[in-house]
Amino acid sequence: MVINIMKKFFFIFVFSLFVFEKSSAATGEGQPTQYQVTMKKVELCTDLACTSPYVLGEKDMEADIVPTEGGTNVGNYAPTTGIPPGKVFTHLRVTISRTFTVTANISTSGASCKTDGGNNATATQMTLGLKNGLAAAVPETMFLNDEGEYNPANGTKAGGGALDVDYSDPSSAKAMTVSGDTAVMTYELVSPYQKTLRAPIIKVKFNTATAIGVDDTACAMFINEPTVTIALD
């Protein structure tokens, strides 16, 4: 009887060690130290649908929008002197490249995931970062992934995956579409703008505190939407 009890105790003890030492996957999000986007086009709109846009500027310009860098460069993207009078603008539409340059070290409850310069992302492949490594995070080319479900084990798009990418209900933009090589976001201005005698200044504020998401199963890393506030003063 004593032997049987001891055997049972030993089995439970070993099983408990196995259960408690086995790490479980966790997700998290956090602040990158670099979040560089390539702007391609900026338009002023009189409604959310942007049916009759005024093109403020159309050119490629890289901008790091992490708060320490600020939104100054973005606000200076194009001159505002040519804005037509007599129209009330309520929204601003931005076209950007789907390719981002990101440096980030994001922690979850179970691990840390760092950009490692592997540049392994595509439209259907999330970035796979370095898990719990001692090396510092380095710049990585990340991609705004296609909508759909992704497998945490390898970051690839697959039906039934636990990571869901969905742009139908953005948190900061009022509308967002992703296709081809670009993404288009439409933001509501802080207040409607109508041209006066002086050309306006575009003021843009970013909050990138949760701009990079991770799943620590294989350190799949993905782009999250930053909070954006735009005003014409």
Residue 140, in any domain of the structure? yes
Residue that the structure tokens 């991770």 belong to: 214
Q: What is the pLDDT of residues 26-66, one digit of tens each?
A: 899 999 999 999 999 999 999 999 999 999 999 999 999 99
CA 186 → CA 20, 64, 69, 172, distances in Å? 47, 19, 23, 9
Residue 218, in any domain of the structure? yes
Cα 136 to Cα 90: distance, rounded to the nearest angstrom: 43
Q: How many domains, the chain?
A: 1
- Contact status, residue 201 vs residue 189, Cβ threshold 8 Å: no
Residue 87, in any domain of the structure? yes
Query: Could you list the residue range(s) of the whole structural domain that residue 192 is in?
Result: 32-232
* Residue of 146, 147, 165 whose CA lies nearest to 215: 165
Percent of the chain exceeding pLDDT 70 equals 86
Q: What is the pTM of this model?
A: 0.85
Residue 89, in any domain of the structure? yes
Residue 20, in any domain of the structure? no
Residue 19, in any domain of the structure? no
Cα 85 to Cα 193: distance, rounded to the nearest angstrom: 10
The residues that bridge with 106 in the sheet, in sequence order, are: 113
Q: What is the pLDDT along the chain (233 residues), one digit of tens a residue?
A: 333 333 332 333 232 332 323 334 689 999 999 999 999 999 999 999 999 999 999 999 999 999 755 555 677 788 899 999 999 999 999 999 999 999 999 999 989 999 999 999 999 999 999 999 889 999 999 999 999 999 999 999 987 788 999 999 999 999 999 999 999 999 999 999 999 888 898 888 899 999 999 999 999 999 999 999 999 98
CA 201 → CA 154, 193, 226, distances in Å? 45, 11, 22
Cα 64 to Cα 72: distance, rounded to the nearest angstrom: 10
Residue 27, in any domain of the structure? no
Residue 142, in any domain of the structure? yes
